[in-house]
Chain A
Amino acid sequence: MGVFNNMSLRRKQTLVIMLTNSIALFLACAAFVTYDLVTFRKQLVMEVSILADAIGNNCAAAIDFNDPKAASETLAALQANSHIVEACVYSRVGAVFAVFQRDPAASFVPPSVQSKPQYFTRTRLHLFRPIKQKSELIGTIYVSSDLKHIWSRLARYMGIVALVFLLSMLVALALSSQLQRLVVSPVLHLAKVARWVASEKEYSVRATKHSNDELGQLVDGFNEMLAQIQSRDIALQNARDELEKRVAERTAELEETHNQLLKASRRGGMAEIATNVLHNVGNVLNSVNVSTTLILESVKTSRAPNLAKVVVLLQEHTGDLGVFITQDAKGRQLPGYLSRLSEYILEDQKAMMAELDSLRRNVEHIKEIVAMQQSYATFGGVKEVTDLVELVEEGLRLNEGSLIQNGIKVVREFENVPPLNLEKHKTLQILVNLIRNAKHACLESDRTDKRLTVRVTSGVGSIKITVTDNGVGIPKENLTRIFSHGFTTRKGGHGFGLHSGALAAREMSGSLSVLSDGPGKGAAFTLELPVKPA
């Protein structure tokens, strides 16, 4: 069966046709030949029987009148039939009466009389017939015929069968190639299309339908399947395209949202700044108001008008000033009064001076805050090629007054760095903040050798500006939140400088970091800026 499975459909069909054909033919021939042989045997029996009856009948008188010679002569008539080999006539009681044999040389022992009328051996028909005269049994005749004509007939049949077999095979072969068109060709076509579809992944092809039978249904089913796959493919492709489009849209939306968020956050940042600034300014304005009120009160309650009264009194008594001061009751009190008045006025002046000083400081503070707000109001600043050392110097210069005034020593350690393309104003703002913080740290410390070091170093792909002080230092727990918005340790500080500085550094793709060994051990702030090849 394995061989048969591996055969092509074409061969299988041919084989099946040939096989069916040959089996049918074989059965038909076998039936025909068998029938013919059976008939032929019957016919043979009948022929030999007639012959035996005739010869036997003619032997009756010979038996009756004891004439074996006559019987032998009668038997000799069998010579005419070439198939009769042996014959014998028996008397009533079964004794051999006369014998015939075609080949005198052959030894022939007549068989004893059998009860059955005839029987076949492989090569012979043996037949016994009673000899009767006037319905009386006279004797028995035995005739033996060979079966050569049966065998020769069989051989002829075999020849004919073989010939018919050959012819029918040829016809079947010819027919099978015709039938191929009907059955196998559509299948082969289908197989070819299926193979092509499988190898090319091309689902738009269709098998051709040739008939409305099961093969046609198969082709329909196959085409239907292809159509489904194709439509599914298209749907899938569409879904993928749609998805890509939607991803693109969503990405655009996200970008938009991102931009909006960015803007919003910037606006938010500005609002934050504004809030803080206004808050701080408000606080300071409170102080300003208090100072102003105090000064106003002080001016209102000033004893200066009393001095004017003294002056008027003195002018009235210009002529007799001496008398007046010495004689007059009022005049006598005048020196003491003036003395007290001057004391009051001096006190007032002193108090007002203090208030004015406070006022001045507050106003200065406001100025600072406003300046800071202005610096952040401009974002997305313009980049320009900047000499970093010069920028550092400018930052120092802005704080120069207070640094000198407070006796803080400034140390400069600048490496030679290339000019950088950066947002100058933003960077300067960070630097000013850092320097100011360092200054404050120094001021808050009790030490006498207050020192501030500014270092510019160039690293791999970046430039570092480090502002180090030997001031109060930063406790470890504060290091992490020092850049948070609103965090400050300073009285009057608003916790904005470092926060905004860190933000600005990040906006410039840089970073702001801090190092401190702890309280009283100073701190080092480092601004790191990337070097972008111009």
Chain B
Amino acid sequence: MAILTKDHERNPGATVLGGNILTRVNRCIALLGLVFGTASFPGAEITMSEYQVKALFLLNFARYVEWPAVAPGEKNDIVIGVLGDGKLGEMAGFVKGKSVDGRPVSMRQVQTPEEYEKCHMLFFVASEKARFSEILAGIKTKPVLTVGESDRFLDQGGVINFVKKDERIRLEINLTAARNAKLKISSKLLNVADRVTGKAP
């Protein structure tokens, strides 16, 4: 909720009046409450879909990862690229309009290496498994946080991998890959990771 409130306050384009802000904020709180409550405690009435949770996690990564000063991307935005078909709609709908640390987040489908390199994060949908090695090798030293959801994703040079355990989505982190990409990952994030491989910078 704080994120949204701040977002509205800071966004010059958000030409809304006080009353509208409140109602909107309330709506957002309600929404987030539902999202979070169900996400944190299984058995709640409404559950988030797997890719909605993954979209949320991707958003949250922005708070625990530091990109080098010569970061890619356009303007001030944080750009998340999605490699692979079928999941963008579900995820982008969740991310739309949100921001992290005052920076708006945008999500888009990417195809070409040029496009990859302009992203802060690159999400590899499991269906594109075959292309992973090649693509990862291509952007190995670029400051792009690569996130996957497949076995052996870290071995292929990915930085963070989603794994499913007990119906919960857990994290695996490859520090070597992060170092190669000149990304600094907060120890807090490491603390909640199930598995951390590689060596810290």
Contacts of B40 in A (CB 8 A): 66, 68, 91, 95, 97
| Contact present for B36 and A62 (CB under 8 Å) | no
Known: A60-B188, A61-B64, A65-B192. A136 touches B37 (CB 8 A): no
**What is the chain A residue whose CB lies nearest that of B30?**
A93
Q: Is B3 an interface residue (CB 8 A)?
A: yes
| Contact present for A93 and B29 (CB under 8 Å) | yes
Q: Is B191 an interface residue (CB 8 A)?
A: yes
**What is the chain B residue whose CB lies nearest that of A71?**
B192
| Contact present for B191 and A92 (CB under 8 Å) | no
Q: Is B60 an interface residue (CB 8 A)?
A: yes
| Contact present for A136 and B171 (CB under 8 Å) | no
Known: A93-B33, A93-B37, A95-B40. A64 touches B64 (CB 8 A): yes
Which residue among A65, A68, A70, A137 has the maximum number of chain B CB atoms within 10 Å of its CB?
A65
Taking the closest CB of chain B, its distance from the CB of A75, in whole angstroms, is: 13
Q: Mark B137-172, 1 if CB is under 8 A from A, else 0.
A: 000000000000000000000000000000011010
Q: Mark A65-94, 1 if CB is under 8 A from B, else 0.
A: 111101000100000000000000001110
Known: A61-B64, A64-B64, A136-B63. A93 touches B188 (CB 8 A): no
Contacts of B134 in A (CB 8 A): none
Q: Is B101 an interface residue (CB 8 A)?
A: yes
Q: Is A453 an interface residue (CB 8 A)?
A: no
| Contact present for B192 and A93 (CB under 8 Å) | no
Q: Mark B54-80, 1 if CB is under 8 A from A, else 0.
A: 000100100110000000000000000
A-B contact count (CB 8 A): 66
Q: Is B1 an interface residue (CB 8 A)?
A: yes
| Contact present for B3 and A95 (CB under 8 Å) | no
Known: A66-B39, A68-B40. A58 touches B168 (CB 8 A): no
**What is the chain B residue whose CB lies nearest that of A62?**
B192
Q: Is B186 an interface residue (CB 8 A)?
A: yes
Contacts of B100 in A (CB 8 A): 134, 136
**What is the chain A residue whose CB lies nearest that of B36?**
A91
Taking the closest CB of chain A, its distance from the CB of B118, in whole angstroms, is: 23
Q: Which of A47-62 contact B (CB under 8 A)?
A: 57-58, 60-62
| Contact present for A70 and B191 (CB under 8 Å) | yes
| Contact present for B192 and A70 (CB under 8 Å) | yes
| Contact present for B168 and A64 (CB under 8 Å) | no
Q: Is B2 an interface residue (CB 8 A)?
A: yes
Contacts of A91 in B (CB 8 A): 36-37, 40
Partner of A93, one of B36, B53, B63: B36
Separation of A64 and B100 alpha carbons in the complex (Å): 12
Contacts of A61 in B (CB 8 A): 64, 186, 188-189, 191-192
| Contact present for B37 and A95 (CB under 8 Å) | yes
Separation of A61 and B170 alpha carbons in the complex (Å): 12
**What is the chain A residue whose CB lies nearest that of B33?**
A93
| Contact present for A133 and B36 (CB under 8 Å) | no
Taking the closest CB of chain B, its distance from the CB of A134, in whole angstroms, is: 4
Q: Is A135 an interface residue (CB 8 A)?
A: yes
Contacts of A60 in B (CB 8 A): 188
Q: Which of B169-191 contact A (CB under 8 A)?
A: 169, 171, 186, 188-189, 191
Q: Is B46 an interface residue (CB 8 A)?
A: no
Taking the closest CB of chain B, its distance from the CB of A88, in whole angstroms, is: 14
Q: Is B32 an interface residue (CB 8 A)?
A: yes
Known: A93-B29, A93-B32, A93-B36. A136 touches B2 (CB 8 A): yes
Q: Mark A131-174, 1 if CB is under 8 A from B, else 0.
A: 00111110000000000000000000000000000000000000
Contacts of A136 in B (CB 8 A): 2-3, 6, 63, 100-101
| Contact present for A133 and B64 (CB under 8 Å) | yes
Separation of A64 and B1 alpha carbons in the complex (Å): 13
Separation of A66 and B192 alpha carbons in the complex (Å): 9
Q: Mark B20-47, 1 if CB is under 8 A from A, else 0.
A: 0000000001001100110111000000
**What is the chain A residue whose CB lies nearest that of B6?**
A136
Separation of A74 and B192 alpha carbons in the complex (Å): 11
Separation of A93 and B101 alpha carbons in the complex (Å): 19
**What is the chain A residue whose CB lies nearest that of B101?**
A134
**What is the chain B residue whose CB lies nearest that of A58?**
B188
**What is the chain B residue whose CB lies nearest that of A137?**
B2
**What is the chain A residue whose CB lies nearest that of B99?**
A136
Contacts of A66 in B (CB 8 A): 39-40, 53, 168-169
Separation of A133 and B65 alpha carbons in the complex (Å): 11
| Contact present for A92 and B1 (CB under 8 Å) | yes
Separation of A93 and B28 alpha carbons in the complex (Å): 11
| Contact present for A133 and B39 (CB under 8 Å) | no
**What is the chain A residue whose CB lies nearest that of B186?**
A61
Known: A61-B64, A64-B60. A92 touches B36 (CB 8 A): yes
| Contact present for A135 and B101 (CB under 8 Å) | yes
Q: Mark A277-307, 1 if CB is under 8 A from B, else 0.
A: 0000000000000000000000000000000
| Contact present for B63 and A64 (CB under 8 Å) | yes
Q: Mark B76-106, 1 if CB is under 8 A from A, else 0.
A: 0000000000000000000000001100000
Separation of A135 and B29 alpha carbons in the complex (Å): 18
| Contact present for A92 and B64 (CB under 8 Å) | no
Separation of A74 and B187 alpha carbons in the complex (Å): 13
Separation of A64 and B57 alpha carbons in the complex (Å): 7
Partner of A92, one of B2, B6, B57: B2
**What is the chain B residue whose CB lies nearest that of A64?**
B60
Partner of A134, one of B32, B36, B63: B63
Separation of A64 and B188 alpha carbons in the complex (Å): 10
**What is the chain B residue whose CB lies nearest that of A94?**
B33
Separation of A131 and B113 alpha carbons in the complex (Å): 38
Taking the closest CB of chain B, its distance from the CB of A436, in whole angstroms, is: 164
Partner of A133, one of B37, B63, B169, B171: B63
Separation of A203 and B165 alpha carbons in the complex (Å): 115
**What is the chain A residue whose CB lies nearest that of B169?**
A66
Q: Which of B1-25 contact A (CB under 8 A)?
A: 1-3, 6
Q: Which 6 A-B pairs have the closest CB atoms?
A: A61-B188, A137-B2, A64-B60, A93-B33, A67-B192, A134-B101
15 contacts between A and B (CB under 8 A): A57-B188, A58-B188, A61-B189, A64-B64, A65-B171, A66-B169, A91-B40, A92-B2, A93-B33, A95-B36, A133-B63, A133-B188, A134-B63, A136-B2, A136-B6
A-binding residues in B (CB < 8 A): 1-3, 6, 29, 32-33, 36-37, 39-41, 53, 57, 60, 63-64, 100-101, 168-169, 171, 186, 188-189, 191-192
